Amino acid sequence: MSDVFADLVGQAETVATLRQAAAAAARVVAGEQVAAGAMTHAWIFTGPPGSGRSVAARAFAAALECERGGAGCGECHGCHTTLGKTHADVRFVVPEGLSIGVSEMRALVLRAASAPSGGRWQIVVIEDADRLTEQAGNALLKAIEEPPPRTVFLLCTPSTHPDDISVTIRSRCRVMALRQPPAEAVAEVLVRRDGVAPEVASWAAAASQGHVGRAKRLANDSEARGRRDAVLSVPRRLTGVGACFEAASALIKAAEAEAAEQLVETDASERASLEQALGAGGTGRGAAGAMRGAAGQLKDLERRQKSRATRSKRDALDRALVDLAGFYRDVLVTNMRAPVGVVHTDVATQSEAAAGKWSPESALRRLEAVLACRQAIDENVKPEIAVESMMLTLWRG
Ligand SMILES: [Zn+2]
């Protein structure tokens, strides 16, 4: 019943285009002639966080490897292994830290140039392609400029802005722009796919502002709900300068705790498996040299883990800021009587009360302070400083 595109919520046009391309790709594999441009070797998937960029790339990769004429049936071996990330011809690049390096990219490009073992396509999926280093981008560009006949590159980035992806790479790719899925579509998929109760699904879909993964977490994970409640209590706690600094410190500590909680298990198991692979504690001929090499590899792992921790912390803080921005947006739309729904229905009494107290200009200044804070952190301003300054504006208005 549900094929590989079923989880792509509210993206009918994109799905139609990808289906056509996958069908054309299957004809190429069968040795038939297809119209020029019917299949493309390099694609960029853009869209706001949670709109399903990587879901779209993975579904398309599965359709390309599908054994039933590129249908993306979701049932054959090609579909299954691609979706499960175990297909021999499909490689997923997920940056561990803040950027994807050049050596990693060169190795990938080299492997992608070999003939597909399954007889269809060699596919490289690069999630967060905006985190490519400049050199890695150049290595990728060479491959995209002269693609091997059966190689496909699928890149995911937030946008095609030059900050996210170089203009030259972008000019060689076909761009699929995903939109923020409407709340009703998100709620529908939570009910159908994840068995969430309809009223919980509607609330979570609105509160997550179209972010499918976040909606699912809010619906199923009481700790995620607790963290959100704490963030939404910030506006009423800002009663003075001291309270602003306290709220800033609490917000950052909560983001750190959330990130640490998510990483502690992965970090430990990565270290354990590396130590096991290196045979820690070995003796005999060559052991000293091997140990020196092992120390280097452990250092390398620690470096990557540290970089990943920084990124996780930023992502957690950003999620909190998006929730907070939603609250001030609700105040503003209530204030202006805009004909749109509120994001945080469960604290609507609070946003209504604030709308009665603040002028639209004052509500807007607060919303802008949250957005400015997100941008400052994105531009590497120290989170403590950005968040404290934001809290002061949220208090004064
Ligand atoms: Zn299939």
Q: What is the pLDDT of residue 280?
A: 55
**How far, in Å, from the CA of 155 to the mean position of ligand 1?**
22
**How far, in Å, from the CA of 90 to the mean position of ligand 1?**
14
Which token pair is 141? 């560009």
**How far, in Å, from the CA of 61 to the mean position of ligand 1?**
11
**How far, in Å, from the CA of 69 to the mean position of ligand 1?**
8
pLDDT in tens, 71-110: 999 999 999 999 999 999 999 987 665 677 888 888 889 8
Q: What is the pLDDT of residue 96?
A: 61
Residue ranges near ligand 1 (ion) with Cβ within 5 Å? 66, 68, 73, 76, 79
**How far, in Å, from the CA of 21 to the mean position of ligand 1?**
15
Give the integer Cα–Cα distance in Å for 277 and 385. 42
Using the CB atoms, write b or e for 224-261: b if 16+ within 10 Å.
bbebbebbbebbeebeeeeebeebbebbbebbbebbee
Angle between helices 287-335 and 241-278 (to 10 degrees): 150
Which token pair is 92? 């997923």
Q: What is the pLDDT of residue 209?
A: 87
**How far, in Å, from the CA of 66 to the mean position of ligand 1?**
4
Whether residue 180 is predicted with pLDDT greater than 50 in this model: the reply is yes
Q: Which carries the bigger pLDDT value, residue 271 or residue 377? A: 377
Whether residue 1 is predicted with pLDDT greater than 50 in this model: the reply is no
pLDDT in tens, 187-215: 999 999 899 999 999 999 999 988 888 89
**How far, in Å, from the CA of 280 to the mean position of ligand 1?**
43
pLDDT in tens, 343-374: 999 999 999 999 999 999 999 999 999 999 99
DSSP secondary structure, 186-228, as one string: HHHHHHHHH---HHHHHHHHHHTTT-HHHHHHHHH-HHHHHHH
**How far, in Å, from the CA of 220 to the mean position of ligand 1?**
30
What's the pLDDT band for 30 if we cut at 50, 70, 90?
Answer: very high
**How far, in Å, from the CA of 303 to the mean position of ligand 1?**
39
Give the integer Cα–Cα distance in Å for 255 and 273. 28
**How far, in Å, from the CA of 29 to the mean position of ligand 1?**
15
**Torsion sign across C-alpha atoms 91, 92, 96, 99:** positive
**How far, in Å, from the CA of 167 to the mean position of ligand 1?**
34
**How far, in Å, from the CA of 34 to the mean position of ligand 1?**
21
**How far, in Å, from the CA of 23 to the mean position of ligand 1?**
12
**How far, in Å, from the CA of 32 to the mean position of ligand 1?**
20
**How far, in Å, from the CA of 226 to the mean position of ligand 1?**
40
Which residue type sits at 285? R
**How far, in Å, from the CA of 67 to the mean position of ligand 1?**
5
Give the integer Cα–Cα distance in Å for 385 and 289. 46
**How far, in Å, from the CA of 217 to the mean position of ligand 1?**
29
Window from 49-63, 142-156, 281-295 with minimum mean pLDDT: 281-295
